[in-house]
Amino acid sequence: MVTISTQFNGPDRTGNGGYVAGLIANELGGDGPTTSKLRIPPPLATPLSWESSDAETRLLTAGGAVVGEASSGEFRRDPPPCPTHKQAKAGLAAYPGFHNHPFDRCFTCGTKRDEGDGLRLFTGPYADGRTSAPWTPHAAFGGDDGAIDVPVMWAALDCPGGWAADFTSNSMVLGLMTAEVTRLPVAGEPCISVGSLYERDGRKFFTDTALYTAEGELLGHAEQVWVLIDLANFS
């Protein structure tokens, strides 16, 4: 059994897409990229259960509805390159969420979250279709060895893609995410986040994200599919 804490929300009443996708991927285990698909808005503070086989892990509600599932995945594109420090700082300064944010209490990118409560990862545009920001994991997210865990890493790889697709103009939630963690960053380690919009197809946005050290070491990257929603009716 597992219960997703209310700390790890995206929209106010449902789980952060990247965090939940990473939670399912971590339960699957294995090496290489993993694809997590979210089927319904992940419920918070609700007991959920696992159903696993050699090839797939699924997260289920008490009634048997599939919240999400993870299996071995593969990448279609190279990760976006690491921005310069100047570009990352320009992205942070231009973060649209400071002025207009559809999910301002989001665990990853919410401006109304305190240090150590949310990640406060604020990626703004620095080039056409790309977002970036410097980011340092807070000590609250480090484990016994100082490293942040896999679900938090997936959360950090999540929202920069949504901002590359422009959350302020397009209300979206994560539908699918393929990610691979090369190395988990430790608390206090300066990083650079980057997101890139690949293409739009109707209600779907295809994005790429990556997290680098300040020296340019790739820590992990992801490919995502975001789906437009009616924000007024989403729950």
pLDDT, position 128: 85
Domain that holds residue 72: 2-233
CATH code, 42? 2.40.160.210
Identify whether the C-beta of residue 69 lies closer than 8 Å to the C-beta of residue 20. Answer: no
pLDDT, position 121: 98
pLDDT, position 229: 85
Identify whether the C-beta of residue 228 lies closer than 8 Å to the C-beta of residue 172. Answer: yes
pLDDT, position 127: 87
**Total domains, the chain:** 1
pLDDT, position 176: 98
pLDDT, position 232: 65
pLDDT, position 35: 98
83: nearest Cα among 196, 182, 177: 196
Q: Say which amino acid occupies 53.
A: S
Per-residue model confidence as pLDDT tens for the chain (235 residues): 999 999 999 999 999 999 999 999 999 998 899 999 999 999 999 999 999 988 999 999 999 999 999 999 999 999 999 999 999 999 999 999 999 999 999 999 999 999 999 999 999 999 888 999 999 999 999 999 999 999 999 999 999 999 999 988 888 999 999 999 999 999 999 999 999 999 999 999 999 999 999 999 999 999 999 999 876 666 5
pLDDT, position 68: 98
Q: How far apart are CA 94 and CA 88, in angstroms?
A: 10
pLDDT, position 234: 60
Q: Which residues make Cβ contacts (< 8 Å) with residue 66, sequence separation at least 6?
A: 39, 40, 58, 59, 60
pTM (global) more than 0.85: yes
